[in-house]
Amino acid sequence: MSDTPHYDVVVVGGGAAGFFGAIQIAEKRSGIKILILEKSNKLLAKVRISGGGRCNVTHHCFEPNVLSKHYPRGQRQLKKLFTRYQAQDVVNWFEQRGVKLKVEGDGRMFPTTNNSETIINCFLREADRYSIKVLVGHQVNKVRHTDSVITLTCTNEQEFTCERLLVAAGGHPNREAYKWIENLGHTVTPLMPSLFTFNDSEKKFVDLMGVSVESASVQIAGTKFRESGPVLITHWGLSGPAVIKLSAWAAEYLAERHYTFTALVNWTGNVMEDEARKELESYCRDHPKQKVENNSLYHLPGRLWERLCEQSEIEKTRVWSELSKKQLNKLVENLVRCQFKIKGKTTFKEEFVTCGGVDLAEIELENMESKKFRGVYFAGEVLNIDGETGGFNFQSAWTTAYTAAEAIATKSLK
């Protein structure tokens, strides 16, 4: 008999998907022997720092179809998975374990304690209750799969065998982190960061840092990539929900262009050029004696309006009736198509996710099992799934982990 420790299930990754998956398996099948292997010395590290230390657990969107629309990668697959396990189920799961979630104005959901430790403590308590063994400092770097057993080798040369393997190793922009998965025989799609802000190479609005517009829209010039919402001017360029959302949807396009592109900001939100021109012309007629610079339209912050006037070569003393056609046209242009020459990106509050991962074409979506290696399952960001900011990335981790756990727990073990 071999001395290699044997488990019914080994979970690779002591993060969100790994813990949630392991606990779900244990809840669904009593007496099952589960081991979590974590490469670092910290468990649930991203949960701890997530949402600025508050953990944005999910999003208040309980309609599977609508929820799935927040995922640039994995949307079609998640639409189906969310019909079985979605945000409402997550809220209920935590509540049944004494963790109440609250919703904020923008739909993000946090523990009422405003502390990610609440989520971590819940997971550690549940894992302990089901006697799930957890080993830190164990980085898996090799998997061998035969019909009878799965063997894992760690960098410290320790080996483990199991009947079912749940890979919940998270995302990483470096391909090296996925080498052991590729060596097993899975395809990993191109990897690149998602969720970032834009660096303005000209820094033309840098002195307006901190100014934000509630309902603007941002488009990538020459493409259909366009998102609406709050835009924030920062000391390096543009940020805010509309920009971060755009970075997610255009992650692949922008990476191909090495983050060098033109962003067009419509400060009015959705007002089109002709409509804006008509509105400005009517303002000229109705307020002929007022100074243009003092009359901010579309509820824009005064400082931004002044800057748009300045960029349109409108002198400080100019009144509406004296506005030349050229100045009016320039103002319209700056209002609805304000150009920013972007070069580079900046991480958004340290939050980022990886676009790319294990190819979904190689996964059975009903149960998250590998189509190539029976008994091997995947969950979380290691997959080619990522969402917008707002709790969507944890939600896909919970849902894929739940789906895998259900299948692992119900399949007969040898």
Ligand X SMILES: Cc1cc2nc3c(=O)[nH]c(=O)nc-3n(C[C@H](O)[C@H](O)[C@H](O)COP(=O)(O)OP(=O)(O)OC[C@H]3O[C@@H](n4cnc5c(N)ncnc54)[C@H](O)[C@@H]3O)c2cc1C
Question: What residues make contact with ligand X under the rule CB under 6 A?
Answer: 12-18, 37-40, 45-46, 49-51, 55-56, 139-140, 168-170, 350-353, 380-382, 391-394, 397
Minimum gap (Å) between residue 70 Cβ and ligand X: 10
Minimum gap (Å) between residue 313 Cβ and ligand X: 43
Q: Which is nearer to ligand X, 169 or 231 (CB)?
A: 169
Q: How far apart are CA 348 and CA 264, in angstroms?
A: 20
Q: Which is nearer to ligand X, 170 or 356 (CB)?
A: 170
Backbone angles phi, psi at 350, to 5 degrees: 65, -5
Minimum gap (Å) between residue 147 Cβ and ligand X: 24
**CA-wise closest residue to 242 among 388, 387, 349:** 388
**CA-wise closest residue to 22 among 114, 108, 132:** 132
Q: Which is nearer to ligand X, 3 or 350 (CB)?
A: 350
DSSP letter for 361, please: G
Cα 404 to the center of its chain, rounded Å: 21
Q: Which is nearer to ligand X, 56 or 384 (CB)?
A: 56
- Helix, strand, coil shares of the chain as percentages rounded to 5? 35, 25, 35
Q: Which is nearer to ligand X, 158 or 327 (CB)?
A: 158
Residue 311 burial by Cβ neighbours in a 10 Å radius (0-12, 13-18, 19+): middle
Minimum gap (Å) between residue 13 Cβ and ligand X: 3
Minimum gap (Å) between residue 281 Cβ and ligand X: 46
The 8 Å CB, 24+ separation contacts for 285-291 are: 287/320, 288/319, 288/320, 288/321, 289/319, 289/320, 289/321, 290/319, 290/320, 291/316, 291/317, 291/318, 291/319
Q: Which is nearer to ligand X, 54 or 337 (CB)?
A: 54
Minimum gap (Å) between residue 18 Cβ and ligand X: 5
Q: Where are the beta strands (DSSP E) in 150-225?
A: 150-154, 159-167, 192-194, 196-200, 212-220
The structure tokens 């813990």 sit at 19
Question: Which DSSP string do the residues of 43-65 spell out, in sequence order?
Answer: SSHHHHHHHHHT---EES---HH
Q: Which residue's CB atom is positioned nearest to ligand X?
A: 15
Minimum gap (Å) between residue 86 Cβ and ligand X: 14
Minimum gap (Å) between residue 84 Cβ and ligand X: 19
Q: Are 247 and 231 in contact (CB under 8 A)?
A: no
